[in-house]
Structure 1
Amino acid sequence: MRKTTRTVVATIATALSIGVVAGLAGTSAAYQDVTHARTAAIAADVSAPFQPGLAKNSRMVDTGLGLSNDGKVYVWGYMGSGAIGGPSSPLLGGVPPRAVLDLPAGIKQVSGMQYDVNALAPDGTVYGWGEFNTRNGTDAFRAWNTPRQIRIGTAWNGTGPLLTGATAISSTETAGAAILDSGRIYSWGALSYGGSSTDGAQPVAGLPDPTVAGNRPVYIKGAYRNFFVILENGDVYAWGGDSSTPSGYTSSATAKKVTALSSWFKSAVAPGQPYIVAVDGGINMGGAVLSDGTFLSWGSVASRVGARSGVPMTPALVPQLTGIVSMQFGFTGVIMAKSDGSLWGYGASDDYGQLAQTPAKVDDNVRQFASGQGYYIWQRADGSFRGRGYNPQGAIGTPIGTITTNRPVSWDLSALVQ
């Protein structure tokens, strides 16, 4: 659902890589893999010691999110009641980029929901803060909206053990999740969006035993209302809502194999044939990148699948899209990078960024990019940032207002340059 500041607008409904937004660096090697070993892109996203730049998992409405090269979390645009920016944050929107205080040094990864944020600390704990403690996993009042560590089974100030050993995090619209070094996955936030039914984090049921060879999760991505996970053997699982999932999956708090994609599982294809390495989705639409750079889409209507023909919510290749190395869905559109550095995308008829309904080039010479719920932002090779889409609070700079063409971002985002 689209939010205008803090109100839902029901008429409308966030990258590859672990979430994802990913920059091009370290991704293209994955698409030359024909041995069916764990791909470089997936391995890098899960195990990378540091992920600076635009947030690689962000489903925020009015707020920009990123991680600086020295491990500080930056936010800009809408600060809500001061919560998103942390202690002493200014109110309302139009706020220039600012570092969030009271976090440990060297944050490894940051992930955003509508109006809440999670951060992965160097010690493997996860911090949460923002407007809704029931979404970010803290589940109790935090003085001055200070980031606090998530616990298992209780609020941040309870007696449950700290969630530790996290190696990767991601977010849906109102829930978060983490892969632990044990191979287990824990989630928190709204249950119907892939979260937990109790305070704090809880283990996700239904996934295969990660101690068995091939069963360790190597990829996690929060789509609109569900999480996608790819195991080391290439099988794809999901839990949460069913808006972003292909046909055959129904909403579930327990992880289930996404059988509609099984023809493209690494475990199912012949040697040398392409298999799924990333999966994501928006409202009534989704897609997957294959190891040869081709792209599968599914959606409820033609404008949600790249204007190709086909059965609703049934996966099929988009002929115009090849050489894809990274992608991220927003609410009703998707942008993706090709190996030549060009940025492509398509959007539904109600896409706020008004991307073409047939896949089309958005820009050239792109280093990194991100999708919010209704906006798109990216960095070009010359270091400059551009954006388009829903912008009532300055997530893609000022002046505010929905921007339907590419526009330079007015904020100084040099701390996030890749």
Structure 2
Amino acid sequence: MSRTLFSMPIATAVLAGLLAGCGGGDTLTLDTAAPTLSSVQTAHETVVKQARLTVTGTVTDDTGVQSVQIALNGQTGTAALSGGSFTATVDLKAGRNNYTLTARDAAGNEGTLQGSVYLGHRVAGGNAHAGALIDGKLYTWGRNNFGQTGLGFTSTVSANAETHPVAPTRAGGTATFVALAFNQNHSLAIDANGQVWSWGDDTDGQLGRGTDGRSLCGSGTVANCRLDIAQVPGLDNTVSLSAGYNHVLALKADGTVWAMGLNTLGQLGNGTTTSSATPVPVVWSPADAPNVGRIVQVSASSASSYALDDQGQLWAWGRNQYANLGQGALSTGTTAQATPLKVPMPAGVRIASVANGRDHVLALSSDGKVYAWGLNASSQVGFNGYIHKGTATAWASPVLSPTSLPWMETHPVVEVYGNGNTSYARRADGKVYPWGMYGASEGTGTVYANLDEPEDRLTTLASIVDMSLGALHQVALRSDGQVFTWGWSFEGALGGGSTTINTWMYNAPLNPVFP
């Protein structure tokens, strides 16, 4: 349900008088005027990736403000005051977070401001499956060869026409989930208590549930999947998840980062190249990661990992074959980087959010600009597409260091998304803009137009608050709770029903029907 920030003064009749004059001319003045708070007004609940929220705004009072406090999830913190402005910071839990700001003056009068933010994805896309959370209930659809839809069985379109989930299907039993993380053929979720659940492909231990009790799925000859949706031991108090191609990152409420799955290139960040089917903590080497702040976001790619701290610093580890770690002069190669390195950013740049595709990275700065690097063969970083590729103005592939994208210099954005060789940016009005590998239907076939920079290809779609990219399909949530899908509908990945199966491709978004 959408929520709008609003200001609501609450006056308390507290004596705050001043005696003036002398003798019988004494007068008593009561201060009953409450402070007034204001902040950025939004037409919908804000969806964020960072686990630490900073709220800024202004506060006024006729006699002066004494304090501003923020209350959220049992926490109460005091905001910093500077003139008539305030800055309040508080840590978030996964899911919906309703907060209250309270301003007090010297007389004890109070004014409040209430707001809501949502931490985590309510929609998710994998290789060719997808899911959405509607009122805490999990619905999934699409490819199911590893049981990644969580329905307790495997299926394909041809062999299981009656049961294969080509439209949103209820999964997850009675658990109340608040955030999703899908990729490739595996799926994870966080419940309302901060516990992580997993299901689907577990070939490399990416589901974090050990090696016992796995089933045989796909074309494998050994047990390699989980058909049941079950909890991951040791991942309690989790506030954020990111699913890579063969590994998963989890951020706990205490700021620690945990990883599980394939580790041949150091993507688990624990100082080794030994894979793990149970969660292991990321190790912050004093030599490689001095002055690291509290981690507030994690992001996993094909074989690299990223973490953002509360100082706006970005850290990276794992594969650097395509300059994934953004180290510039540091040569690319297949040598494992098993502990985090700081990604060097231009002076003064503070990162607010990070996203990645298979081997490229998008870092959103606090002022709405985007710095990108890594593999650029399909122009997923930029300027190597249908206009610039093969010309003197084309950007290289890979791009070795964080590079500012010119489009965002004049079109500031509020969020970035990536997967495969595709990138998306979302602006404040909820419009989303793709670049990189973008499918375009032409007659009975499909060509991919590699877009040099963000373009307005989805002209009918607006007010998007959350989005997730699959390998070749996209899922988005509008502010009114409606879910939209587009791209390739392989095995029902778009959730549009039997008439849309395997169509390549839909660039006019579908609106899946939920039971």
TM-score, length of structure 1 as denominator length: 0.74
Match of 1:376 in 2: 474
1:141-160 equivalence runs, <5 A? 141-142=213-214, 145-151=227-233
Give, as a single letter, the amino acid of the residue that structure 2 aligns with 1:339. Answer: A
Match of 1:86 in 2: 151
Return the offset for 1:349. 7.8
Match of 2:166 in 1: 95
1:52-131 equivalence runs, <5 A? 54-55=122-123, 58=124, 60-69=126-135, 71-87=136-152, 92=157, 93-102=164-173, 105-131=175-201
* Counterpart among 238, 255, 264 of residue 166 in structure 1: 238
Return the offset for 1:51. 5.1
Return the offset for 1:178. 1.2
Structure with bigger strand share is 2
Match of 2:341 in 1: 257
Inter-partner Cα distance in structure 2 for 1:289 and 1:85: 33
Q: Give runs of ≥4 in structure 1 deviating > 6 Å.
A: 28-33, 39-42, 349-353
Return the offset for 1:393. 1.4
Q: Which segment drifts farther, 181-190 or 77-86?
A: 77-86
Say whether 1:356 aligns with 2:451.
yes
- Tell me the SS of whatever aligns to 2:206: helix
Say whether 1:137 aligns with 2:208.
yes
**Contact map agreement 1:82 1:91 (CA 8 A) in 2:** no
Aligned pairs, how many? 365
**Contact map agreement 1:353 1:404 (CA 8 A) in 2:** no
Q: Do the aligned partners of residues 45 and 282 (structure 1) sit closer, same or farther apart at CA in structure 2, a change above 3 Å counting?
A: farther
Render the CA deviation track for 1:266-288: whole Å, top value 9, x for unaligned. xxx2xxxx421112222342221
Identity over the aligned pairs, expressed in percent?
A: 19
Give, as a single letter, the amino acid of the residue that structure 1 aligns with 2:355. Answer: D
Structure with bigger helix share is 1
Return the offset for 1:230. 0.7
Give, as a single letter, the amino acid of the residue that structure 1 aligns with 2:509. Answer: P
Return the offset for 1:229. 0.5
Return the offset for 1:42. 10
Give, as a single letter, the amino acid of the residue that structure 1 aligns with 2:357. Answer: G
Q: Which segment drifts farther, 199-208 or 45-54?
A: 45-54
**Contact map agreement 2:140 2:149 (CA 8 A) in 1:** yes
Match of 1:294 in 2: 369
Say whether 1:245 aligns with 2:325.
yes
1:256-405 equivalence runs, <5 A? 256-259=340-343, 261-263=344-346, 269=348, 274-301=349-376, 303-307=379-383, 309-310=394-395, 312-321=399-408, 322-348=411-437, 354=449, 356-363=451-458, 364-367=461-464, 368-380=466-478, 384-398=482-496, 399-401=500-502, 403-404=504-505
Return the offset for 1:47. 7.6
Higher Rg of the two aligned structures: 2
Return the offset for 1:187. 0.7
**Contact map agreement 2:415 2:427 (CA 8 A) in 1:** yes
Return the offset for 1:111. 1.0
Match of 1:177 in 2: 249
- Tell me the SS of whatever aligns to 1:108: strand
Gaps of 5+ in 1: 1-22, 152-161
Give, as a single letter, the amino acid of the residue that structure 2 aligns with 1:204. Answer: V
Inter-partner Cα distance in structure 1 for 2:451 and 2:55: 26
Return the offset for 1:213. 9.0
- Tell me the SS of whatever aligns to 1:283: coil
Q: Do the aligned partners of residues 110 and 277 (structure 1) sit closer, same or farther apart at CA in structure 2, a change above 3 Å counting?
A: same
- Tell me the SS of whatever aligns to 2:308: strand
Q: Do the aligned partners of residues 238 and 165 (structure 1) sit closer, same or farther apart at CA in structure 2, a change above 3 Å counting?
A: same
- Tell me the SS of whatever aligns to 1:183: coil
Inter-partner Cα distance in structure 2 for 1:354 and 1:42: 43
Inter-partner Cα distance in structure 2 for 1:42 and 1:238: 25
**Contact map agreement 1:332 1:350 (CA 8 A) in 2:** no
Render the CA deviation track for 1:110-141: whole Å, top value 9, x for unaligned. 21121111122233322211132622112332
Q: Do the aligned partners of residues 353 and 176 (structure 1) sit closer, same or farther apart at CA in structure 2, a change above 3 Å counting?
A: farther
Q: Do the aligned partners of residues 81 and 46 (structure 1) sit closer, same or farther apart at CA in structure 2, a change above 3 Å counting?
A: closer
Say whether 1:202 aligns with 2:267.
no
Could you say what the CA RMSD is over the residues aligned between the two structures, in angstroms?
A: 3.8
**Contact map agreement 2:484 2:512 (CA 8 A) in 1:** no
- Tell me the SS of whatever aligns to 1:320: helix
Inter-partner Cα distance in structure 2 for 1:32 and 1:365: 26
Q: Do the aligned partners of residues 393 and 219 (structure 1) sit closer, same or farther apart at CA in structure 2, a change above 3 Å counting?
A: same
Gaps of 5+ in 2: 1-43, 58-78, 82-86, 98-117, 158-163, 216-225, 269-273, 385-393, 441-446
Return the offset for 1:289. 0.8
Inter-partner Cα distance in structure 2 for 1:257 and 1:140: 34
- Tell me the SS of whatever aligns to 1:411: coil
| Larger RCO, structures 1/2 (Cα 8 Å, 6+ apart) | 1
**Contact map agreement 2:190 2:197 (CA 8 A) in 1:** yes
- Tell me the SS of whatever aligns to 1:95: coil
Render the CA deviation track for 1:240-286: whole Å, top value 9, x for unaligned. 22344324476546332233x3325xxxx2xxxx4211122223422
Match of 1:7 in 2: none
- Tell me the SS of whatever aligns to 2:198: strand
Q: Which segment drifts farther, 385-394 or 228-237?
A: 385-394
Q: Do the aligned partners of residues 82 and 223 (structure 1) sit closer, same or farther apart at CA in structure 2, a change above 3 Å counting?
A: closer
Q: Do the aligned partners of residues 340 and 148 (structure 1) sit closer, same or farther apart at CA in structure 2, a change above 3 Å counting?
A: closer
Match of 1:8 in 2: none
Inter-partner Cα distance in structure 2 for 1:391 and 1:31: 40
Inter-partner Cα distance in structure 1 for 2:449 and 2:90: 30
Return the offset for 1:94. 4.8
Render the CA deviation track for 1:44-66: whole Å, top value 9, x for unaligned. 586855657643xx461110122
TM-score, length of structure 2 as denominator length: 0.61
- Tell me the SS of whatever aligns to 2:345: helix
